[in-house]
Amino acid sequence: MSYTLTHIENRILTITINRPDKLNALNQATLEELKSHVVAAQDNTDIAVIIITGSGDKAFVAGADIGELATTNAVTGMQFAKFGQSVMNAIEDSRKPVIAAVNGFALGGGCELAMACHLRIASDNAKFGQPEIKLGVIPGFGGSQRLTRLVGRGKSMEMNLLGEMIDANEAVRIGLANQVIPAADLSATVNSIASKLAASAPIALSMVIDTVNRGYEFSLADALDYEIKAFGICCATEDKSEGTSAFLEKRTAQFSGQ
C-alpha cells in the first residue's frame, strides 16, 4: 500500500502524504516512500522544484505514528529516529528547492518535516508544535535542533518543553513559517512560488541552498569564503552567461542548468 501520492506538472513534483485517516502521521513506510521520492527527484531533469503537502484539509502531518512509537524500545527508538533524520536530511540537502505547503496540523514529525523544507507556506488554519513531551519523549527527527536554529533558543525551549501548539501567524512572527495564506488559496500560491523557482537558474538555486545550509554551521569568515567559491562556480556556468545576456538584452532568460 502506498502512503504517498506524486504528481509532476510544469517541472514541479508534488508529494502528498496520503494517510488522511491517521491525519497523515509518519510511519516507517511513509518515511521510506518520502525519502525515495526526494532522492529520485535529484537526478530527474523533468523536476525542478518539490512541493510536500498532506492530503485532506485538516493536517499537513500530525506527527509520527503513535502506534509504531508505542512499540519502540531504546534500540528500535534510536533506529527510528536515525532513519527519520536521514529523511529530513535528504530534504534539507536537496539540490532542488523543497516547499512545505502546510495545510493544517504540522505537529511533532510534521513540524520537523516542514522545518527540513527550504520554504514553509502555511494556510491560515495551520498549527505548528513539538508536543512530544506529552508522550514522554523528545523530538527525534531534528525538532530540538532545527527549531532552535529557526526561532532561537528561548522560543525553541518553550515549544519543546511545553509542547503547545502555535497558529500560523505566530509561526510567521517567530520565523518558523514564511507566509500565511488563506486555506482556499494555499495550493495556487505555492504553485505560483514553485513556478518562479522552476524558471530560475538551477545551479544558482542549488548553490543558495548549499551556502545557506552549510554556512550556518561555519564561522562567519569560513562561511564567507565558502560563498566566494560558490559564486565562482556560478560565474563559470552557461546559466550565468544566459542570465547576464538576457538582462542586458531586456529579455526573459532561458536557463539550461549548465
Catalytic residues: 112, 132
Quote the strand ranges of the chain, DSSP E.
4-9, 12-17, 49-54, 59-61, 98-102, 105-107, 119-123, 127-129, 166-167, 179-181
Give the Cα separation of 20 and 101 in Å (integer).
16
Q: Rounded to the nearest 5°, which phi and psi values hold at 59?
A: -140, 140
Please, are residues 23 and 62 in contact by the beta-carbon 8 Å criterion? yes
d(CA 73, CA 71): 7
Other Cβ atoms within 10 Å of 218 Cβ, number: 14
Residues in the chain: 258
Burial class (CB in 10 A: 0-12, 13-18, 19+), 7: exposed
C-alpha–C-alpha distance, residues 198 and 200, integer Å: 6
Residue with cell 523543497: 98
Residues 6+ apart with CB under 8 A from 43: none
CB 9: neighbour CB atoms within 10 A?
A: 9
